[in-house]
Amino acid sequence: MNRFVKLQSKFVCFNCRKSFERYNESNEATSNCPECNTLTIRYDPRFKVPKRTDDKQWKKIESLRDNGFYFQKIYKQVGTSSYQRVLYPKDLSEVAEFVKLYKDQAIILNKK
Ligand SMILES: [Zn+2]
């Protein structure tokens, strides 16, 4: 076994408005924030948090999160047998429609 392989996961803390990475061998979907101890949720590793002061973007992410979207990859069907990657909404006003369309791809977590 290669001990240098790192199994890092990215978690987002809405309380601190920042992300942190943690060694996550057991592939947990949640982790407590090292700074404020709030329960945080795992996000796609490529996800970049907005600036702390960007209230609109944080509201958008929060709304997506509440509906089960953690920037996991979302697809839409194109034609009969192919799928295309869907981009996340850029603005809070687009979230409701996005959630409605892709609800079946939402991730439901058992929040503690
Ligand atoms: Zn925190």
Cα 2 to Cα 70: distance, rounded to the nearest angstrom: 30
The two structure tokens encoding residue 51:
């600036």
pLDDT above 90: percentage of residues in the chain: 79
Residues facing residue 22 across a β-bridge: 9
Please give the distance, rounded to the nearest whole angstrom, from the Cα atom of residue 49 to the centre of ligand 1: 13
Max Cα–Cα distance, the chain, nearest Å: 48
Contact 9, 45 (CB under 8 A): yes
Alpha helices (H) along the chain: 55-66, 95-102
Where exactly are the structural domains of the chain?
8-105
Neighbours of 42 (CB within 10 A): 22
Structure tokens at 47: 């996800």
Asked if the model's pLDDT at residue 112 lies above 80, the reply is no
Average per-residue pLDDT in the chain?
A: 91
CA of 41 from ligand 1 middle (Å) equals 11
pLDDT band, very low/low/confident/very high, at 1 (cuts 50, 70, 90): very low
The predicted-structure confidence for 5-48, as pLDDT tens digits, reads as follows: 567 899 999 999 999 999 888 888 999 999 999 999 999 988 99
- pLDDT at 5 (0 to 100): 55
What is d(CA 16, CA 60) in angstroms, rounded to the nearest whole number? 16
User: Rounded to the nearest whole angstrom, what is the distance from the C-alpha of residue 23 to the centroid of ligand 1?
Assistant: 17
CA of 19 to the centre of ligand 1 (A): 8
> Given this model, what pLDDT does residue 49 score?
95
